[in-house]
Amino acid sequence: MSDPITGLAHMLGQPFIQHALVAGTSIALLSGLVGYFVVLRGQVFAGDALSHVAYAGALAALAAGVDLRFGLFAATIAVGLVLGLLGGRRAADDVVIGTAFAWVLGLGVFFLAIYTTHSATGNSAANVNVLFGSILGISASAASTAAWIAVGLIALLLVLARPLLFASLDPDVARASGVPVRLLGPLFLAIVGATAAEASQAIGALLLFGLLAAPPAAAQRLTDRPWRGFVLSGLLSVLCLWIGVCVAYAAPKLPVSFTIMTTSTVLYAGVVLVTTVRWPAFSRRGGAARP
């Protein structure tokens, strides 16, 4: 691949890359948009817990012999709702989350043991795929399903976005002006759970943060405007996925989940560097009110 353009055209001609990009773009956009609120609400740890729940759910489905995605979504959405209800307005106590999700992960290991001992085709490939993702191996039908679910979740998030922002920044006033704060918390964590389930199919349960935490953190450093940051976070996340897929295609030795995660880490580190160096200029510009 001496010529990058030809190389790119060749890459885009590959069906598995097309599937990866269709599923990956929608999942990355979803993760980035959801992640913006996760970071704003300080619920990264809950997101972490939900990604581990995704693992346990997927392995439970494998052990039971049903579709893996069923286990993923059922477990993450249910636990997301429970976490939201337990915590009331804010995220549940971190100790409660931590204790519970350590156990859920133990359950995952339990299902893994059942799966590997009882399944005739018992191999650890499925386990590794759930943990670390397999976007380059996703089938056409799985890709389109993942994309449609992502689109649906994004639509739901857009509907909730403004009251959610209000409730995140200013819960007391939001409640007084009629925002159903108590309802939004669990609902949002259920969306985070569904996002974790989606992302597990792309970059794996363990690497969810590549798309859920790093792009929003970068976006919040780049802009103080909530809606601009919201959109930017989604776009950065998509960018990370594209770059990661391209790099993994060019260097087949590197796993694609690693390249995606590395891209987003480098992106965040770069943003920190740029915003820190240009700090005085930023604060001068931000001095006047521009609503």
Partner 1 sequence: MSAVLELDRAAVAVAGRTIWSGVSLQVQAGEFVAILGPNGVGKSTLLKAVLGLTPLSGGAMTVLGDRPGHVNGRIGYLPQRRAFDPNTRVRGVDIVRLGLDGDRWGVPLPGRLAGSAGRRARERVEEVIALVGAGAYAGRPIGQCSGGEQQRLLIAQALIRGPELLVLDEPLDSLDVTNQASVSALIRDVCRSQNVAVLLVAHDVNPILPYLDQVIYLAHGGAVMGPPEEVITADTLTMLYGTPIDVLRDRAGRLVVVGQPDAHAEHR
Partner 2 sequence: MSVDLTWDLVADVRQLLSYHFMLNALRAGTIVAVVCGAIGYFMVLRRQSFVGHTLAVIGFPGAAGAIWLGVSSGFGYYGFCIAGALVIAALPGGGRAGSGLGGAGEESAVVGTVQGFALACGFLFVSLYKGFLSGLNNLLFGTITGVADHQVITLLIAGVLCLAVLVAIARPLLFVSVDPDVARASGVPVRLVGTVYLVLLGTAAAGASQITGSLLVFALLVAPAATASRLTARPYLGLGLSVLIAVLVTWLGEAFAFFSPYPIGFWVTTLAFGAYLLATGYGLLRERLGRRLVTA
Burial (0-12, 13-18, 19+ Cβ within 10 Å), 114: middle
Candidate residues 140, 151, 159, 266; the one interacting with partner 1 per rule CB under 8 A: 159
- Segment interacting with partner 2, rule: CB under 8 A, options 100-108, 187-195, 235-243, 281-289: 100-108
Residue 95 sits in the site that holds partner 2 (CB under 8 A): yes
Interaction of residue 240 with partner 2, rule CB under 8 A: no
Of the candidate residues 11, 44, 160, 239, the single one contacting partner 1 (CB under 8 A): 160
Of 58-66, 112-120, 201-209, 217-225, which segment contacts partner 1 by CB under 8 A? 217-225
Q: Does 257 bind partner 2 (CB under 8 A)?
A: yes
Q: Does residue 222 come out as left (phi exceeding 0), alpha (psi in the -120 to 50 range) or beta?
A: alpha
Near partner 1 in 176-205, by CB under 8 A: 176-179
Nearest distance from C-beta of residue 223 to partner 1, angstroms: 8
Contacts of 140 (CB under 8 A, 6+ apart): 15, 19
- Show the tokens assigned to 103: 């156990």
How far apart are the C-alpha atoms of 220 and 41, rounded to whole Å? 12
Rule CB under 8 A: which of 203-222 touch partner 2?
A: 204, 206-210, 212-214, 216-217, 220-221
Residue from 124, 139, 177, 275 in contact with partner 2 (CB under 8 A): 124
Interface with partner 1 by CB under 8 A: which range of 58-66, 170-178, 190-198, 249-257?
A: 170-178
The 18-57 contact track toward partner 2, x by CB under 8 A, reads: ---------------------xxxx-xx-xx---x-----
Quote the least distance from Cβ 6 to partner 2, whole Å: 28
Binding footprint of partner 2 on the chain (CB under 8 A)? 39-42, 44-45, 47-48, 52, 91, 94-100, 102-103, 105-107, 109-110, 112-113, 117, 124, 127-128, 131-132, 204, 206-210, 212-214, 216-217, 220-221, 253-255, 257-258, 260-262, 264-265, 268
